[in-house]
Amino acid sequence: MERRLVAMFISGALLFLGGVYVGYTNQPAVNWISSVTNKEPAELGGESVDFEPFWRAWRIIEEKYVSIDTLDRQTMVWGAISGLAASLGDPYTVFFPPEEKKIFDSEVRGDFEGVGMEIGMRKGILVVVAPLKGTPAYNAGVKAGDKILKIGDESTAEMTVDEAVRKIRGKKGTTVTLTLLRNGEDDVRVIEIARDVIQIPIYEAEKKGSVFVIRLFSFSERSPAIFRQALKEFIESGSSKLVLDLRNNPGGYLEAAVDVASWFLPAGDIVAREDFGHGKEELHRSRGYDVFENLALVVLVNGGSASASEIVAGALRDHDVAKIVGTKTFGKGSVQELLSVTSDTSLKVTIARWLTPNGHSISESGLEPDVVQEAAGENDEAIDPQLDKAIELLKELPQKSES
């Protein structure tokens, strides 16, 4: 979840690596930087770090590499920083050299073209978090939980999430071929998808008997205002039983999640805990819209429910406002901050983990539903046993009453 987009410079090892080429051509500077870092280990987390192997490797390349005239030393610096980020083992901490930064900035603005699906990393394997409803990926049959083995002819084995995103996205009208693994090891599918301009859907609403259903597809900047419209439809329906369907909702903005949860929680109730480690924590609290005097609420989730979806579902359950039905959520519970390294490069770094109000770590294990209900098989998409189970449960739940 990209919660902050902050323009600032970082110091320490990254700024140090940014001066590699200057350092190499001015050896006293190299010696000075190395001596400072070794004499003051507290600047590096209290641990003594020997940078000499890095400089030795740089000198070996300069002295021995056969195509020395073709070296792009600035690209070598970017590669070193990328390796530094990759060494953390966190798929969401990524360095963006100049061209990649331009692409990422356009994605943050929302003016991108592609296939319309959220992807993530699970146990070192690229997976589809969720295809967005109505997008090329959704219409082509991509499913939440599909493992991405290849993009075109290129294996994803050593690919980061952001690298995969850049390869999948592209100009409207062009195509991308994905090799996907679904269910078992023999269920490999090759799907060709035509890219398009992605219009992210927000919600659908309908009344099923005495139960009202709101399907929320994303937590975008527009979601809070549009969710109010959905709630207006719910109130006008005369129903007091609500299914909030967050299946295949890959998340989005924290502020949108807090706003949605605030319709069901009193002012001041904790919606999420942001754990920065070392005992530092920030609490995000309900704004207390809490307009429903009599309400029975069920939240539907599955493996495509991630990030902001998990925050909302976890908050409503922890405060005994709702029951969760479906299957285990994805487990995308980390917070990234975007920081400038130079004027045309940036580093997206994980700075915190999301916890539910009761302290459950979303990123470690996702959310287990109160009532487990598997989805229909691929040949039975006309039926929806998860929604049926939610409706059945609502008929048994006591309604929230504030009278």
6-31 per-position pLDDT tens digit: 322 222 232 233 333 333 333 333 34
Segment 144-199, tens digit of pLDDT? 999 999 999 999 998 988 889 889 999 999 999 999 999 777 889 999 999 999 87
Mind listing the pLDDT tens digit for each residue in 42-83?
A: 356 667 888 889 999 999 999 999 999 999 999 999 999 999
Tell whether the model's pLDDT for residue 2 goes beyond 50.
no
Q: pLDDT at residue 143 above 60?
A: yes
Local confidence band at 256 (pLDDT 50, 70, 90 cut-offs): very high
Q: What mean pLDDT comes out for the span 369-388? A: 89
pLDDT of residue 401: 52
Nearest to 227 by CA among 138, 289, 294: 289
Reply yes or no on whether the pLDDT at 344 is more than 60: yes
DSSP state, residue 69: G
Q: Which of 73-82, 159-168, 210-219, 383-392 has the lowest mean pLDDT?
A: 159-168
In this prediction, residues 101-113 reach a mean pLDDT of 68
Instruction: Give pLDDT, residue 350.
Output: 93
Per the CB < 8 A criterion, the answer to whether 10 and 70 are in contact is: no
User: Can you tell me whether residue 87 is helix, strand or coil?
Assistant: coil
Angle between helices 27-39 and 52-64 (to 10 degrees): 160
Question: Is pLDDT of 265 > 90?
Answer: yes
Superfamily of domain 203-401: 2-enoyl-CoA Hydratase; Chain A, domain 1 (3.90.226.10)
Query: Of 8-17, 84-93, 108-117, which one has max mean pLDDT?
Result: 84-93
Q: How confident is the model at residue 221 (pLDDT cuts 50, 70, 90)?
A: confident
Could you tell me if 362 and 1 are in contact, meaning their C-beta atoms sit under 8 angstroms apart? no
Tell me the catalytic residues.
307, 318, 332
Hey, CA dihedral for 119, 276, 302, 242, is it positive or negative?
negative
Lowest mean pLDDT among 16-25, 311-320, 365-374, 382-391: 16-25
CATH homologous superfamily of 103-197 equals PDZ domain (2.30.42.10)
Contact (Cβ atoms closer than 8 angstroms) between residue 101 and residue 185:
no
Is pLDDT of 328 > 90?
yes
Is residue 44 within 8 A of residue 13, CB to CB? The reply is yes
Q: What are the DSSP E strand ranges found in 40-131?
A: 94-96, 113-114, 117-122, 125-131
Q: Which of 4-13, 124-133, 135-144, 229-238 has the lowest mean pLDDT?
A: 4-13
Global pTM reads 0.78
